[in-house]
Amino acid sequence: MIFRREIQRNLKGLIIWTLVIGGLTILNLMMFPDVAKQQAAIDQLIKQLPQTLIKAFGMDKLSMADPMGYYATKGYLMIILFGSIYAVMLAGNMLSKEHNEKTIEFLLSNPVKRSGIITQKLLAIFTNLLIFNLLITVANYIGFKMTKAEFDMGVFLLLSIAPLLLHLVFASIAFLLSSRMKKSRNIVSISLGLVFVMYFLDIVSSVSGKFENLKYITPYEYVDAVGIVINKSISTTYLGIMFAVIVISNFFAYWIYQRRDIAV
């Protein structure tokens, strides 16, 4: 019952976020043929840009004339950043809204344990993010096909899986905050702050050798498109860290919420 209700309540948001990001992705990829034809001019333009900007977006390692290089330096960022915003807004409200809207009494009056409430809400989050990323992957595939350019399907799949893992990481952290804090506004604000701070640290680590080690504390580094395109793989160490963050965050969410004093 709870799972179905959460899917229905969050359906509108899922549709809007998917249409906006998916539509922008297709529009971005539709520009690739023109960019590839003007590669010489674009290379000259890129050389005139500040080196910090070139490094920040991986334009020093990838070619804009290659469909995967073009996508990695332009469209991919939109998916990981805006998708992470959607993930924390979804997960940050999942538990706290029951207290804000005074509906927790209704839930607790039903024959369901707190662990059951958490499980169904967590499944709703994972389901929404899985559907979101699947639809974005379909949009990407359509966009790549419209370019009529050959692309590496293996790399394409890796660049589709990586954002899902990142979104689950941020969603799990936001869900953990939701299990402890009461006000949805505070939870979402902190979660959004974390999304942007981690992205800022990733940019700083990529443009400055002095702060290179910062990349190891930001999850954006774990799904870096440049590394995935060049190596045609996702680091097993990074995969392990992301899975650990997801599991640990949700474990503590269970532990905290089952011991939380809930006034009804």
Domain of residue 51: give its range.
2-258
Give a yes or no: residue 125 inside a domain.
yes
The predicted model scores a pTM of 0.89
* Residue 126 located in a structural domain: yes
**Residue 263 within a domain:** no
What is the Cα–Cα distance from 42 to 37, expressed in whole angstroms?
A: 10
What is the count of structural domains for the chain? 1
Confidence (pLDDT) at 125:
95
66 found inside a domain: yes
Measured CA to CA, the distance from residue 117 to residue 72 in angstroms comes to 39
- Tell me: pLDDT of 12 over 80: yes
Distance (Å, rounded) from C-alpha 118 to C-alpha 232?
Answer: 37
Of the ranges 60-74, 124-138, 191-205, which one carries the lowest mean pLDDT score? 60-74
Q: Which residue type is seen at 66?
A: D
**Domain contains 207:** yes
Indicate if the pLDDT at residue 96 is higher than 80: no
**Structural domain includes residue 264:** no
How does pLDDT run across 148-158, given as a tens digit for each residue?
Answer: 878 889 999 99
**Domain assignment of residue 152, yes or no:** yes
Q: Is residue 14 a part of any domain in this protein?
A: yes
